[in-house]
Amino acid sequence: MDSTASLVQTLHRINRQKADILGQLQRGPKTVAHSQGQLKHVTDHFQATRDRLKRAKMDADAKQLQLKEREQKIYVWQGKLNAAKENREFQAIKDQIAADTQANAVLSDEILEILESIDVIGQELKQAEAAVAAKSSDLEKVQQQVSGRKTVLDNELIRVQEQLVQAESLLNGDLKRDYQRLVAIKAEDAMAELDGNCCSGCYKSLTPSLLDKLLMRQAIICPNCGRLVYKNQD
- String of DSSP letters for 38-63: HHHHHHHHHHHHHHHHHHHHHHHHHH
Mean of pLDDT values over 41-51? 97
Helix (H) or strand (E) holding 76: helix 5-83
Residue 35 has pLDDT above 90, yes or no: yes
Residue 1 has pLDDT above 60, yes or no: no
Residue 175, sorted as left (phi over 0), alpha (psi -120 to 50) or beta, turns out to be alpha
- Mean pLDDT for the chain? 93
Query: Same domain, yes or no, for 176 and 165?
Result: no
Query: Same domain, yes or no, for 165 and 224?
Result: no
User: Which residue range is the domain that position 195 belongs to?
Assistant: 171-234
Q: State pLDDT tens for residues 53-87.
A: 999 999 999 999 999 998 898 888 888 877 777 87
Residue 190 has pLDDT above 90, yes or no: yes
Mean of pLDDT values over 205-210? 95
Query: Same domain, yes or no, for 41 and 76?
Result: yes
Give the three-class secondary structure for 19: helix
Q: Looking at 115, 145, 170, which one is the last position of a domain?
A: 170
Query: Same domain, yes or no, for 165 and 190?
Result: no
Dist. CA 167–CA 214, nearest whole Å: 20
Whole-number percent of the chain with pLDDT over 70 = 99
Domains contained in the chain, number:
2
Mean of pLDDT values over 107-130? 96
Dist. CA 71–CA 111, nearest whole Å: 15
pLDDT range class, residue 3, cuts 50, 70, 90: low
Residue 2 has pLDDT above 50, yes or no: no
Angle at 95 between CA 89 and CA 99, to 5 degrees: 145
Residue 94 has pLDDT above 90, yes or no: no
Dist. CA 114–CA 36, nearest whole Å: 35
